[in-house]
Amino acid sequence: MTHAPSPALTPRRGRPGYDRETLLRVCVEVFNLHGYDATSMGTLSERLGISKSAIYHHVESKEAILDQALSRALDALEDVITSEDAAAVSELDRLEHVLRRTVFVLVEHMPYVTLLLRLRGNSEVELRALERRRTITGQVAVLIGRAQQEGSIRTDLSSRSAARLLLGMINSVVDWYKPGAGESTDDLADTVLTLAFSGLRT
């Protein structure tokens, strides 16, 4: 699922400085460092090195920045669910494809996913994002259920609980994995799948 960029984050003409991508990236770094709720527009102004009024020439509000950042993470995660695996010949193959690609999304979009995983649901933007995240978990549970029906994985496990536990393990990557500092993303995904399916396979 792809969502159109928020018009609130489209730079207005006549103002030099940050483009949308750079502004968004820096703001997400600050949100993750201080926490979204604790970050003021003044804090963003100081980090960006521009006045608050200059920021408002790019964005309508701090919440508009959050909305765009969360969409960046959620769009990528939702695309994993809907993407096709040409090599898949079973439901188990499709489940493995989704889990592997999810690892890659977390690494490729780590600051944005980190922000998503730290939400508290304190605003409408956050609540909408949390609902989209729950939908993704439900879709993974459906994939697990289909693999159970074909006899590829154990049937004595709750598909919903298994989905939450698997995604919880993958989500923990943002807390400790350092891209480019050792283990490759491919190796990381292999480790995740080995641990996951050693407990799921029949």
CATH classification at residue 117: 1.10.357.10
| Co-location of 77 and 145 in the same domain | yes
- Answer yes or no: is 157 within a domain: yes
Residues 128 and 144 in one domain: yes
We report the CATH number of the domain holding residue 20 as 1.10.10.60
Same domain membership, residue 144 and residue 185? yes
Q: Report pLDDT for 202.
A: 61
Would you state the pLDDT for residue 2? 45
88 and 143 assigned to the same domain: yes
**118 and 36 in a common domain:** no
158 found inside a domain: yes
Determine the Cα angle at 12 with ends 28 and 4, to 5°: 60
Q: SS3 letters for 65-116? A: HHHHHHHHHHHHHHHHHHCCCCCCCCHHHHHHHHHHHHHHHHHHCHHHHHHH
Examine the domain organization and report whether 54 and 83 are in the same domain.
Answer: no
The residue segments making up the domain with residue 53 are 7-64
pLDDT digit string (tens) for the chain, length 202 residues: 444 444 444 444 334 466 778 889 999 999 999 999 999 999 999 998 888 888 887 788 899 999 999 999 999 999 999 998 877 889 999 999 999 999 999 999 999 999 999 999 899 999 999 999 999 999 999 999 999 999 999 999 999 999 999 999 999 999 999 887 778 999 999 999 999 888 777 6
- Asked if residue 88 and residue 148 are part of one domain, the reply reads yes
Same domain, 88 and 33: no
Q: Is 43 helix (H, G, I), strand (E, B) or coil?
A: helix
* Position 140 in a domain: yes
Residues 86 and 60 in one domain: no
Global pTM reads 0.85
Give bridge partners of residue 153 from the DSSP assignment. 201
Q: Is residue 2 part of a domain?
A: no
Please check whether residues 58 and 71 belong to one and the same domain: no
Task: Identify whether residues 60 and 102 lie together within a single domain.
Answer: no
Task: Give how many domains the chain has, as a whole number.
Answer: 2
